[in-house]
């Protein structure tokens, strides 16, 4: 294998013109959408090729076809110049095309080497020795050292991702595709990933990197291609890329992505990760709306509990909660919402101790929780939009009388909300799962942020949304705070927190490692707290 790698690199370097993998004139249609419209792209060995584009631009469809999960309607996939039909993920893997998806797809209870050995032929006995040899080979290639017998669940997310990369390269290292690989990582994790990718590139791997962050595109990309509405709208070739400043690259990409659209709109800011900090407002003299003292929870298997968390939140204030995913953010949100019992400590809303009260009691006091799992727990996917809009009001007047559902009123109210909040749906009776993520989020916001709300907890409010809806959601959060809503925003996107928050708390291993004022050198301080390197 090692020799093969070397020869592949040599071939890539000498010929240079035959791409490791290419798509020519590829088109893929879904009912009502053309996901990829006559796209032609080449991915060369020894090159990091960044694919940029908004949600819905067709990036995911393109990699799904390269990964063998979808078949193109027309057009060809060329592997080292030869047309190839990638009919299943296994075929893709056998040809050395590996994909690392956004979320870790490893079995947490198995060890590193066991995870890598999965997917072998079922009739063969597991043979660890050759697997270990391959593991050592790939460790050298990536320049990382991981214990092959460590349980996946005990590794950091960055290390888990390195194992994912190894798995993707397990049966050959021609092409490595990464779908938004940095969304789960700390700033340090992102830097480490960059090192690994550059190393792999120098060893002759063709790397396809999908991202929606301009900064990463500039830092990692040898070649940058932009997709918009299923079409390839432009590329920056390596030759040209070398001569361009960061500013030039940014300008060109923005032009490609947004075309004639107003460049001063919020989408560009979102893309660039630029944040206009909120103006300082005088909220210190108000009495806290929410007080949390020494709050702890009990964890079930695979969860991270919170330990001894204390903070105060004033009306009109936005408290950001930063941290790498899985450091107790979920438990914090759930225990505040009343979905999860507190093991210790207390929660006070206004002057009422609500530690033992459930969701309903806290909702009555104005506390609202906008969950990150919009379909997982926020809504019942097969129920209508109308039903989901009243999910937390069931049994209460005026939509219910003596326990009887007044469906006409429920539907009428839903039609009003759909109009007011611009929820794009065929009808109020459409099952909500058929809506796009942005519109489901709009429905959730409409349900939660009613006039009686006084505290709002947002868990990853923009996760999985397109730029337009990200901007809308952030505006909504800001507007709420302006109107006096005491707000908590939990997010893994540091840019988002820096843009929205007055103060930012950092979760690390279930503790609130520190709360920093969002000013000046906050970023650096937060980065240190996120990795447990500093105590705030």
Partner 1 sequence: MSFVSDTRADSAVPQPPSSKLVKSTLAAVLRIFLPVLLALVVGGLILFAMGKNPLDYYGYVLNRGLFSWGGFQATLTRMVPLLLMAAGLIVAFRAGIWNLGGDGQFLLAAVITAALAPALIQVMPRSLMIICCIVVSVAVSALWALLPALLKARYGINEIITSLMMSFLGISFANVLVKLVFRDPTTTVPQTPDLPVADRLPRLFDTTVHAGILIALVVIVLVHIMMTRTSFGLKLQIVGANPRAAVHAGLNVAWLTIATFALSAGLIGLAGSIEILGVWGTVRADWNPAYGLVVVPLVFLARFHGIGTIGFTLFFAILMIGGESASRRIGVPQHYVLVLVALLLLFLALVEYLDQLWRKRVKD
Q: Give the helix/strand (H/E) hosting 400.
A: strand 400-401
Q: Give the helix/strand (H/E) hosting 451.
A: none
Beta carbon of residue 208, minimum distance to partner 1 (angstroms, whole number): 24
Start-to-end CA distance of the chain, whole Å, equals 49
Nearest residue (CB) to partner 1, 316 versus 378: 378
Q: Give the helix/strand (H/E) hosting 398.
A: none
Phi and psi torsions of 365, nearest 5° = -85, 5
Tell me the torsion sign for CA atoms 369, 372, 376, 382.
positive
Residues that bind partner 1 (CB under 8 A): 30-31, 337-339, 358-360, 363, 369, 371, 373, 376-384, 386-387, 391-392, 394-395, 400, 403-405, 407, 427, 429, 431
Residues recorded for the chain: 536
Nearest residue (CB) to partner 1, 101 versus 383: 383
Q: Give the helix/strand (H/E) hosting 257.
A: helix 246-258
Q: Which residues, 6+ apart, have CB-to-CB distance to 194 below 8 Å?
A: 219, 220
* Whether the Cβ atoms of residue 297 and residue 343 lie closer than 8 Å to each other: yes
How many other CB atoms sit within 10 Å of the CB of residue 13?
11
Nearest residue (CB) to partner 1, 229 versus 375: 375
* Whether the Cβ atoms of residue 32 and residue 47 lie closer than 8 Å to each other: no
Distances in Å between the Cα of 157 and the Cα atoms of 108, 147, 186, 300, 325 are: 11, 15, 9, 19, 9
Q: Which residues, 6+ apart, have CB-to-CB distance to 279 below 8 Å?
A: none
Q: Rounded CA gap, 375 and 387, in Å?
A: 14
Nearest residue (CB) to partner 1, 223 versus 374: 374
Nearest residue (CB) to partner 1, 117 versus 389: 389
Which stretches does DSSP call E strand in 118-273?
Answer: 175-179, 206-211, 223-228, 231-236
Beta carbon of residue 79, minimum distance to partner 1 (angstroms, whole number): 24
Nearest residue (CB) to partner 1, 113 versus 414: 414
Beta carbon of residue 103, minimum distance to partner 1 (angstroms, whole number): 18
Beta carbon of residue 75, minimum distance to partner 1 (angstroms, whole number): 17
Q: Give the helix/strand (H/E) hosting 68.
A: none
* Whether the Cβ atoms of residue 386 and residue 410 lie closer than 8 Å to each other: yes
* Whether the Cβ atoms of residue 425 and residue 419 lie closer than 8 Å to each other: no
Nearest residue (CB) to partner 1, 258 versus 400: 400
Beta carbon of residue 61, minimum distance to partner 1 (angstroms, whole number): 13
Nearest residue (CB) to partner 1, 199 versus 429: 429
User: Quick check: helix, strand or coil at residue 49?
Assistant: strand
Nearest residue (CB) to partner 1, 64 versus 80: 64
Nearest residue (CB) to partner 1, 363 versus 511: 363
Nearest residue (CB) to partner 1, 71 versus 109: 71
Beta carbon of residue 386, minimum distance to partner 1 (angstroms, whole number): 7
Is residue 401 reached through a cis peptide bond, with omega within 30 degrees of 0 on the bond before it? no
Beta carbon of residue 383, minimum distance to partner 1 (angstroms, whole number): 6
Beta carbon of residue 95, minimum distance to partner 1 (angstroms, whole number): 24
* Whether the Cβ atoms of residue 529 and residue 536 lie closer than 8 Å to each other: yes
Nearest residue (CB) to partner 1, 101 versus 400: 400
Buried b (16+ CB within 10 A) or exposed e, 294-305: ebbbeeeeeebb
How many other CB atoms sit within 10 Å of the CB of residue 482?
12
Nearest residue (CB) to partner 1, 82 versus 419: 419
Q: Rounded CA gap, 243 and 240, in Å?
A: 5
Nearest residue (CB) to partner 1, 65 versus 386: 386
**Residues 81/87/93/98 CA torsion (nearest 10 deg):** 80
Q: Rounded CA gap, 378 and 384, in Å?
A: 13
Buried b (16+ CB within 10 A) or exposed e, 119-135: eeeeeeeeeeeebeebb
Q: Rounded CA gap, 236 and 253, in Å?
A: 9
């Amino acid at each position: 294998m090692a020799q093969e790698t070397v020869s592949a690199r040599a071939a890539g370097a000498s010929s240079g013109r035959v791409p490791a993998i290419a798509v020519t004139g590829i088109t893929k249609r879904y009912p009502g959408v053309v996901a990829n419209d006559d796209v032609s792209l080449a991915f060369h060995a020894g090159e990091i090729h960044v694919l940029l584009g908004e949600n819905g631009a067709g990036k995911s469809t393109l990699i799904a076809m390269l990964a063998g999960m979808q078949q193109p309607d027309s057009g060809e996939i060329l592997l080292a110049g030869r047309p190839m039909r990638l009919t299943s993920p296994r075929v893709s893997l056998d040809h050395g095309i590996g994909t690392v998806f956004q979320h870790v797809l490893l079995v947490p209870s198995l060890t590193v080497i066991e995870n890598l050995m999965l997917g072998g032929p079922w009739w063969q006995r597991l043979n660890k020795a050759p697997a270990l040899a391959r593991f050592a080979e790939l460790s050298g290639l990536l320049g990382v050292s991981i214990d092959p017998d460590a349980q996946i669940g005990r590794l950091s997310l960055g290390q888990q991702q390195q194992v994912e990369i190894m798995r993707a390269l397990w049966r050959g290292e021609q092409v490595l595709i990464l779908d938004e690989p940095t969304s789960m990582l700390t700033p340090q994790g992102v830097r480490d990933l960059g090192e690994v990718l550059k190393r792999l590139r120098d060893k002759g791997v063709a790397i396809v990197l999908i991202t929606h962050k301009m900064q990463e595109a500039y830092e990692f990309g040898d070649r940058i291609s932009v997709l918009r509405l299923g079409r390839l709208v432009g590329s920056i070739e390596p030759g040209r890329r070398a001569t361009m400043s960061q500013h030039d690259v940014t300008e060109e990409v923005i032009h490609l992505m947004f075309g004639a659209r107003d460049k001063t709109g919020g989408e560009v800011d979102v893309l660039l990760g630029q944040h206009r900090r909120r103006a300082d407002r005088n909220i210190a003299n108000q009495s806290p709306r929410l007080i949390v003292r020494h709050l702890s929870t009990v964890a079930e298997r695979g969860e991270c509990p919170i330990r001894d968390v204390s903070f105060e939140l004033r009306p009109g204030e936005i408290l950001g909660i930063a941290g790498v995913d899985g450091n107790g953010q979920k438990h914090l949100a759930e225990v505040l919402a009343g979905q999860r019992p507190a093991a210790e400590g207390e929660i006070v809303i206004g002057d009422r101790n609500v530690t033992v009260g459930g969701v309903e009691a806290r909702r009555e006091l104005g506390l609202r929780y906008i969950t990150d799992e919009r379909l997982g727990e926020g809504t019942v996917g097969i129920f209508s939009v109308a039903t989901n809009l009243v999910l937390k009001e069931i049994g209460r007047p005026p939509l219910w009388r003596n326990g009887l559902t007044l469906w006409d009123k429920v539907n009428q109210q839903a039609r009003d909300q759909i109009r007011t909040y611009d929820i794009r749906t065929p009808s109020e009776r459409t099952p909500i799962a058929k809506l796009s993520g942005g519109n489901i989020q709009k429905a959730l916001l409409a349900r939660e942020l009613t006039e009686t709300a006084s505290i709002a907890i947002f868990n990853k409010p923009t996760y999985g949304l397109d730029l337009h809806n990200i901007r809308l959601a952030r505006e909504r959060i800001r507007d709420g705070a302006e109107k006096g809503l005491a707000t908590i925003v939990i997010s893994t996107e540091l840019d988002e927190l820096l843009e929205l928050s007055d103060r930012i708390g950092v979760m690390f291993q279930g503790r609130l490692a520190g709360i920093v004022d969002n000013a000046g050198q906050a970023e650096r301080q937060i980065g240190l707290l996120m990795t447990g390197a500093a105590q705030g």
